[in-house]
Structure 1
Amino acid sequence: MDWGKGIVIVIAVFVLFMAGLVTICVKQDDIHLVTQNYYEEEIKYQDQIDKIVNAHNLDYEVLAYNTQLKRVVMNLPVGSKGTVHLFRPSDARLDQKIDFQLLNVEENYIDVKDLKAGYWKVKLTWEENGVAYYEEKKINI
């Protein structure tokens, strides 16, 4: 075999390899964006930064994950209200948003044992005494 045939074979194998990769990429249908309205979320991000700073100024830990009971515990005072977003980065179809208002201390947790096992982000947005807060915790179920 001479150089000409070898070069043609290498180029042909490369073209077939690239065609295979393009075919695989085109057939993927489970690509999920983090959010559908990305640009509006970006504009509102300064408000988010203020909420994060407010949460960091608190002198107690707001979110805790109990691995044995598979519960996310919210250490918030009675009267707090907000939203818990259970965010699954690998599959947006599994995301859940739960609105809450703490009327007594016993309601300060969320059971996550029914969620699919894997990596999750718990995003907590709440308000107390007219001040907005945001806290995020990464958990592995």
Structure 2
Amino acid sequence: MDWGKGILLSIIAFIAIIMTMVVISVRMEGIELVTDNYYEEEIKYQDRIDDTNSTLELNREVLTFEAASKSVLLDLPVGSKGTLNLFRPSERALDQELAVFIEDEGMKRVSIDHLKAGYWKVQLSWTENGKSYYQEKKITI
């Protein structure tokens, strides 16, 4: 085999590899935006930053993940209301939103053993004494 045939075969192999990659990337499913109304969420983002800063001022860990028991612990005072979002970045259909209302003293345990194994974002937003707060944890089940 001479140089001309070797170069020609290399170019053909390169084109075949590129075409295969293009076909695979076009057929991929499951690529989704994080949210449908992205622009409205972006406008509200400053409120989330303010709520996160308010949470830092509390000087306590409100949201804790226990891997052994597959549960989330919430350290909120009686009368707090909010939502706990279980967000799966890779599979939107698995996202869940749970209402949170604290009626008793002490830590509230929320079991998450029913969730599919993998990477999750646990987002807690709540109001306490008329003030809004937000905390987020990234966990792996």
Q: TM-score, normalised by structure 2?
A: 0.93
**Correspondence for 1:117:** 117
Q: What is the DSSP-based 3-state SS (H/G/I as helix, E as strand, rest coil) of the residue aligned with 1:138? A: strand
Q: Tell me the distance in 2 between the aligned counterparts of 1:94 and 1:16.
A: 37
How do 1:43-122 and structure 2 match up within 5 A? 43-105=43-105, 108-122=108-122
Aligned-residue offset at 1:106: 6.4
Alpha-carbon shift at residue 32 of structure 1 (Å)? 2.3
Is 2:44 the counterpart of 1:38? no
Q: Is the 8 A contact 1:82 1:126 kept in 2?
A: yes
Displacement of 1:72: 0.2
Percent of aligned pairs sharing the same letter:
50
Contact 1:33 1:92 in 2 (8 A): no
d(CA) in 2 for partners of 1:38, 1:136: 19
For 2:80 and 2:61, locate their aligned partners in 1 and report how far apart those are by CA, in whole Å: 15
Matched residue SS, 1:105: coil
Bigger shift: residues 32-41 or 104-113: 104-113
Shift of 1:61: 0.8
Classify the secondary structure of the residue corresponding to 2:22.
helix
Report if the CA contact (8 A) 2:75-2:107 is conserved.
no
Contact 2:87 2:96 in 1 (8 A): yes
1:19-66 C-alpha deviation (Å, 9 max, x unpaired)? 100111111111122222211111111111100100011121101112
Secondary structure of the 1:100 match is strand
Aligned residues: 141
Q: Deviations over 1:80-103 (max 9, x none)?
A: 111101111221111111112112
Given that 2:73 and 2:107 are in contact with CA atoms closer than 8 Å, whether structure 1 keeps it comes out as: no
- AA partner of residue 71 (structure 1): S
> Does residue 16 of the first structure (1) align with residue 16 of the second (2)?
yes
* Structure 2 unaligned blocks of 5 or more: none
Question: Which deviates further from its counterpart, 74-83 or 103-112?
Answer: 103-112
**Displacement over 3 Å in runs of 4+:** none
Measured in 2, the distance between the counterparts of 1:20 and 1:66 equals 44
Q: Which deviates further from its counterpart, 6-15 or 48-57?
A: 6-15
